[in-house]
Each structure stands twice: as structure tokens, then as C-alpha cells.
Amino acid sequence: MRLPLGIWTVEGDEITVLFREWGERTTQLAQSGVGTSVDLIGPLGNEFSAPAAGSRATIVAGGLGVVPFWLLGKRLLEDHVRTRVVLGARTASLLVGASELRALGLRVELCTDDGSDGIRGTVLDVLADGPPADIIYGCGPPQMLRALCAHAVSSRVPCEISMEETFGCSMGTCWGCVVPVRRGAKQGSGYPKAPGESRQYDYSRVCADGTVYAAADLVWST
């Protein structure tokens, strides 16, 4: 099974990846020395859309969900999009990436569930207290993304989120990384319903059709 990792920073022809050491594969990767060869397929997936210059964008990240936003934040600044970053985690030790984002010139607000750093509360609490945005971007734990999508849809604010699933083949052939999307979504399979099928949603492959999805296209299980 492939280990799905997001690209964090890019400088010339060098990239960095940001991950937490928690299992055999990530431990092995973390302990690899200089000169170690690795097998890489990528970069994979689509990208976030960028609003017009002068627009207001809010980036919402939970923990390691910050990974897609160094590149996006850099792009938004270059496109003269007024950008706010809300970065949250359960506790201070799980907050990562703030210094790198601030070094780009981004405004970063921190929050933690236990109040050990930044505002005590969730990213949704901080988001609701800030200025309105023309577009919201998100990445983080599934429950955070579900709440963020619900907020965006109810507020009628365009929202795009980057999703994470375990990749098998990484090429869209094994269908092991699917997420449910509404029927007719451009990132769905497009397969017609089978005779007698009552399912009202389609499936999308995160590795080949994502990883970025419009909040309004996703279907969350109850």
C-alpha cells in the first residue's frame, strides 16, 4: 500500500513533506538518512481554484491538515488575494506549520481545544468570529471537514476541501480510496444507476479525481 503524503514546501527542484511518525512506514521514512532512495509516484491530484485579486480567502486547517496550504498560501499572496489562516489542533503540541506560513507573510490565527495555545475553541468557532470570506479552503480530520462543509453550504460560501484516504494503487484503478459525492458531480464516476438501485450518491476516487472537492458535492454519512 502506498503512503499518501502531501507536498509541504517547494524550493526550486526540492520538496519537503510533513507527516507525523506513528506507524512502521512513517517511522522508517523519518529515520531514513541522507542519500536513501525512495519510490515516489506524484505529484497526484487536482488543485485548489484561486479567486480574483482583491478577494477574501480563509484557510482552515486542523493539525497536519496544514500540509496543502504552504503552496496555496504562496499562490494566493502572489495573486493579491487577502488571506486569513485559521490553524487549530486538540492541544499545542499538535499545532504545526504556523511559523512557515507566517514567514510567507500570511496572517495566522491559532486555536486549541484545551486552550494551551491561541484561542480556546475549534476552528469553526474562530471562523465564525472573523470577517466574511469569498471562498474557504479546508483540510483536516473528517469531523472538522464535515462541520466546515456544513457551515459553508449553509452560509452559501464557496468552499473547497482536500481529503485524505489510504491509497492502494494511487492510479485510480483499485477503487480503494473512494468518497461519496452527489449524483452528477463532475468528480463522480458517472456510472448510471443499476436497475432497482436506490442509492442517491456516486463515488469518487480521491487519488485520481481529488484530492480537492467542492463542499457542495460531498455526501457525508449520517
Q: What is the pTM of this model?
A: 0.93
Is a pLDDT exceeding 90 seen at residue 155? yes
More confidently predicted of 167 and 16: 16
pLDDT reported for residue 78 = 96
Residues 134 and 66 in one domain: yes
- Percent of the chain whose pLDDT exceeds 70: 99
The residue among 142, 162, 182 that closes a domain is 162
In CATH, what number is assigned to the domain containing residue 70? 3.40.50.80
Closest of 139, 84, 128, 131 to residue 106, by C-alpha:
84
Render 118-156 in DSSP notation, one character per residue. Answer: SEES-HHHHHHHS---SEEEEES-HHHHHHHHHHHHHHT
pLDDT reported for residue 72 = 97
Residues 141 and 116 in one domain: yes
Task: Assign 57 a pLDDT band (cuts: 50, 70, 90).
Answer: very high
84 alpha-carbon distance from chain centroid: 16
Beta bridge partners of 160: 137, 214
Residue 34 lies in a domain: no
Q: First CA to last CA across the chain, in angstroms?
A: 29
Residues 73 and 179 in one domain: no
Residue 22 lies in a domain: no
pLDDT reported for residue 154 = 94
Residues 122 and 189 in one domain: no
Residues 120 and 63 in one domain: yes
Highest mean pLDDT out of 1-5, 6-10, 37-41: 6-10
Residues 136 and 80 in one domain: yes
Q: Which of 25-29, 83-87, 103-107 has the lowest mean pLDDT?
A: 25-29
Residue 41 lies in a domain: no
Residues 157 and 55 in one domain: yes
Residue 183 lies in a domain: yes
Residues 136 and 196 in one domain: no
What SS3 class is residue 103? helix
Number of structural domains found in the chain: 2
DSSP run (H or E) holding 7: strand 7-11
pLDDT reported for residue 176 = 87
118-147 exposure pattern, b = at least 16 Cβ within 10 A, e = fewer: bbeebbbebbeeeeebebbbbbbbeebbeb
What residue has cell string 459525492?
A: 181
Mean pLDDT of all residues in 15-21: 92
Is a pLDDT exceeding 70 seen at residue 54? yes
Mean pLDDT of the chain: 93
Residues 115 and 190 in one domain: no
Is a pLDDT exceeding 90 seen at residue 199? no
Residue 200 lies in a domain: yes
Closest of 190, 84, 189 to residue 138, by C-alpha:
84
Residues 81 and 150 in one domain: yes
Range of the domain at 203: 167-209+218-222
Is a pLDDT exceeding 90 seen at residue 146? yes
More confidently predicted of 177 and 60: 60
> Which tens digit of pLDDT belongs to each residue from 94-132?
999 999 999 999 999 999 999 999 999 999 999 988 889
- Cell numbers for 66, please give them: 496544514
pLDDT reported for residue 157 = 96
Residues 68 and 124 in one domain: yes
Is a pLDDT exceeding 80 seen at residue 222? no
Residues 55 and 149 in one domain: yes
